């Protein structure tokens, strides 16, 4: 069992970057009018469009295939923009769309200024961007610059010789001589890769090793080289000049490496990210990035903050520091009863995380709120209940929470439909390099039997989130006309799909649309104070969001049991604004005594 949990956390690490060694509106981005007077503060916060936005993440490979090759593409996204716009979101985050050999589905970039051929052309991108702007939405793109692909021409050059002008674009080191080791050398240090094994790869051409914190085909860029930094700022300006509105920055805290690259101690190997992230020059590089690339544009930036604690967060996002607008902190995604993820969350732990965030991030530090993305299993399967009986109410409850908490909410594609985990049965059902590498580490090596391994990974695999969007009940969920999509569609597409939800006013899609509209209509849900009314309650999450006279009370029954619940602290629910149980919804109002049905969510004025 310990092993299983360890494997769970290990693969999670590969996915979400914890410890590997735990076991062996919208104009184009425009020049800021620098002379504009500072906007009036709202509850102490400087208002900004990206604070008021709701973001929708598109994973292009899995969104919509326009040309029948089984792979989602940019024209497919363009065709579905009305669907996204009608949900009410303001910003689309597009996972990597750049030229890539796809060792890690686009997170290994071969050319930062080119569109992946499978996704279309630059003209398709420009058309998509124009169509997004026309619909008064904005676009942020993924910035993957801790590493590139080994097929990027910088690396192709870099590996040719020790004196190649690009040699120092990457991190090369001689190995430690060991006649017994393959090639006669041990790696320069004991860094583990997030995708299994050593983070060093021997290159026979020059007989040195290069660092790759992720896959062998993802060599880490050397940010200490000013030429590398200038290349990055240049490519950022390239996309900003096209009109994109900002960036989601992949594993950005890893860019500054520890001087001398010493071995990790046994203690550090338990959580390498804590040491590999937030290196000595990270803040300097982010500030330089701000001044050399971002400052002239009106952008939104969000960093994937691997290895970054809540206490370290303000140093990155405090608006007086000019680094990033916000980061993704994974504390909430990682909660469950046993301190690990992907089980029914231990509600008091989850609530405590949100309270800590509210306490520790002051009015200068903005937050994000999310529980899913392309690296995690499905929202309703991990945090709700994906059984036929409770899938719909629990998915709606989760959207209620995400859209009423503090911070800019991020919705991952398909969660607005309540899409679920995939019934993975065998290794060949998976595409993800993280699973394939983990299979070698655990099953091929004999550490775990195949059934045990497959049982674990089916719950936690990133591929759960990457199965194609379920558009309708036709073959392959209407995602593609090809006989076989790149990754199988969840067989439940016949019942869970966009067409049926669009036709049903009580669907998860329409409920999410109403919740988004509610957030947009009330600044209290954006800038209001947050207070958890009942932190220890294991079943009910009840909190308030207040801004002056605008006072909201949110009550969520996080369980499949009905409960008679009395609001604490003398609080009385006022008018009921929204409930997730349309049709059977209670009309209880102006009372402290609430009879909550299973997975019921209510938003009140109070």
Assign residue 183 a region (left: φ > 0; alpha: ψ between -120 and 50; beta: otherwise). left
Contacted by 67, from Ca ion, ligand NOJ, none: CB < 5 to 8 Å by type: Ca ion
Query: Would you say 410 or 511 has its CB closer to ligand NOJ?
Result: 410
Contacted by 589, from Ca ion, ligand NOJ, none: CB < 5 to 8 Å by type: none
CA distance 170 to 148: 9
In the complex, the smallest distance separating the C-beta of residue 107 from ligand NOJ, rounded to whole angstroms, is 3
Under the criterion CB under 6 A, does residue 250 sit at the interface with ligand NOJ? yes
Under the criterion CB under 5 A, does residue 121 sit at the interface with Ca ion? no
For residues 329, 330, 331, 332, the Cα torsion angle rounded to the nearest 10 degrees is 110
Under the criterion CB under 6 A, does residue 432 sit at the interface with ligand NOJ? no
In the complex, the smallest distance separating the C-beta of residue 65 from Ca ion, rounded to whole angstroms, is 4
Q: What is the DSSP string of 262-326?
A: PPPPTTGGGSHHHHHSS-TTHHHHHHHHIIIIITTB--EEEEE-TT--TTTSHHHH-TTT-S-SE
Contacted by 214, from ligand NOJ, Ca ion, none: CB < 5 to 8 Å by type: ligand NOJ
Under the criterion CB under 5 A, does residue 481 sit at the interface with Ca ion? no
Under the criterion CB under 6 A, does residue 104 sit at the interface with ligand NOJ? yes
Using CB under 6 A, which of 45, 59, 107, 285 touches ligand NOJ?
107
Query: Would you say 79 or 292 has its CB closer to Ca ion?
Result: 79
- Which is nearest to 459 in space by CA: 310, 569, 340? 340
Under the criterion CB under 5 A, does residue 79 sit at the interface with Ca ion? no
What distance separates the 2 farthest-apart alpha carbons in the chain?
79
Under the criterion CB under 6 A, does residue 103 sit at the interface with ligand NOJ? no
Tokens encoding 43: 């509850």
Using CB under 5 A, which of 67, 225, 360, 513 touches Ca ion?
67
Side-chain-facing half-sphere of 304: CA atoms under 13 Å:
25
- Which is nearest to 519 in space by CA: 547, 548, 542, 540? 547
Q: Which of 124, 250, 288, 463 is catalytic?
A: 250
Using CB under 5 A, which of 73, 99, 431, 501 touches Ca ion?
73
Per DSSP, what are the bridge partners of residue 99? 111
Using CB under 5 A, which of 71, 254, 403, 487 touches Ca ion?
71
Under the criterion CB under 6 A, does residue 431 sit at the interface with ligand NOJ? no
Expressed in percent and rounded to 5, the helix, strand and coil fractions of the chain are: 35, 15, 50
Site string for Ca ion, 389-428 (x = CB under 5 A): ----------------------------------------
CA distance 72 to 61: 4
Work out the end-to-end distance of the chain between its first and last CA atoms, rounded to an integer number of angstroms. 47
Q: How does DSSP classify residue 170?
A: B
Under the criterion CB under 6 A, does residue 251 sit at the interface with ligand NOJ? yes
Active site residue 304: yes
CA distance 73 to 482: 13
Residues with catalytic annotation?
250, 304
Residues within the interface to Ca ion (CB under 5 A): 65, 67, 69, 71, 73
Residues interacting with ligand NOJ, by CB under 6 A?
A: 104, 107, 144, 214, 250-251, 304, 374-375
């Amino acid at each position: 069992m310990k092993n299983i949990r360890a494997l769970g956390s290990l693969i999670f690490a590969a996915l979400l970057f914890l410890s590997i060694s735990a076991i062996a509106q919208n104009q184009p981005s425009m020049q800021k009018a620098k002379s504009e007077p500072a906007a009036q503060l709202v509850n102490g916060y400087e208002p900004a469009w990206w604070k008021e936005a709701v973001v929708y993440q598109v994973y292009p490979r899995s969104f919509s295939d326009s040309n029948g090759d089984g792979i989602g593409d940019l024209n497919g996204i363009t065709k579905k923009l009305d669907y996204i716009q009608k949900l009410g979101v303001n910003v689309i985050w597009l996972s990597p769309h750049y030229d890539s050999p796809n060792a890690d589905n686009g997170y290994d970039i071969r050319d930062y200024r080119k569109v992946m051929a499978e996704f279309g052309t630059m003209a398709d991108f420009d058309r998509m961007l124009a169509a997004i702007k026309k619909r008064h939405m904005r676009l942020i793109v993924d910035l993957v610059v801790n590493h590139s692909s080994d097929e990027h021409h910088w690396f192709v050059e870099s590996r040719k010789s020790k004196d190649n002008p690009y040699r120092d674009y990457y991190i090369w080191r001689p190995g430690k001589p060991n006649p017994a080791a393959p090639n006669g050398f041990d790696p320069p240090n004991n860094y583990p890769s997030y995708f299994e094994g050593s983070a060093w790869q021997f290159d026979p051409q020059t007989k040195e090793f290069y660092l790759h914190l992720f896959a062998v085909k993802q060599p880490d860029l050397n940010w200490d080289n000013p030429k590398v930094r200038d290349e990055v700022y240049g490519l950022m300006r390239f996309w900003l000049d096209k009109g994109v509105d900002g960036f989601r920055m992949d594993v950005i805290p890893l860019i500054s490496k520890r001087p001398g690259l010493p071995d990790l101690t046994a203690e550090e190997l338990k959580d390498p990210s804590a040491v590999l992230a937030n290196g000595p020059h990270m803040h300097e590089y982010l500030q330089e990035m701000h001044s050399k690339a971002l400052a002239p544009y009106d952008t939104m930036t969000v960093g994937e903050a691997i290895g970054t604690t809540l206490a370290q967060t303000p140093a990155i996002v405090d608006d007086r520091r000019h680094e990033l607008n916000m980061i993704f902190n994974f504390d909430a995604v990682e909660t469950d009863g046993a301190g690990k993820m992907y089980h029914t969350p231990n509600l008091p732990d989850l609530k405590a995380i949100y309270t800590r965030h509210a306490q520790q991030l002051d009015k200068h530090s903005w937050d994000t709120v999310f529980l899913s993305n392309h690296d995690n299993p499905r929202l309703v399967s991990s945090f709700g209940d994906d059984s036929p009986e409770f899938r719909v109410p629990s998915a709606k409850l989760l959207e209620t929470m995400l859209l009423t908490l503090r911070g800019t909410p991020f919705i991952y594609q398909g969660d607005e439909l309540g899409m679920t985990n995939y019934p993975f049965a065998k290794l060949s059902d998976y595409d993800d390099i993280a699973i394939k590498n983990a299979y070698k580490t655990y099953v091929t090596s004999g550490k775990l039997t195949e059934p045990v391994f497959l049982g674990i990974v089916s719950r936690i695999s990133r591929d759960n989130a990457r199965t194609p969007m379920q558009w309708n009940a036709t073959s392959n969920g209407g995602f593609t006309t090809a006989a076989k999509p790149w990754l199988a569609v969840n067989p439940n597409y016949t019942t869970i799909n966009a067409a049926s939800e669009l036709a049903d006013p009580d669907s998860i899609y329409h409920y999410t649309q109403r919740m988004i509209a509610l957030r947009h209509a009330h600044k209290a849900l954006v800038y209001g104070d947050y207070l958890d009314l009942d932190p220890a309650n294991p079943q009910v999450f009840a909190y308030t969001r207040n801004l002056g006279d605008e006072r909201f009370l949110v009550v969520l029954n996080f369980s499949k049991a009905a409960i008679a619940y009395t609001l604490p602290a003398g609080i009385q629910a006022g008018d009921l604004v929204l409930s997730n149980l349309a049709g059977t919804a209670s009309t209880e109002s102006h009372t402290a005594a609430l009879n909550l049905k299973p997975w019921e969510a209510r938003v009140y004025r109070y």
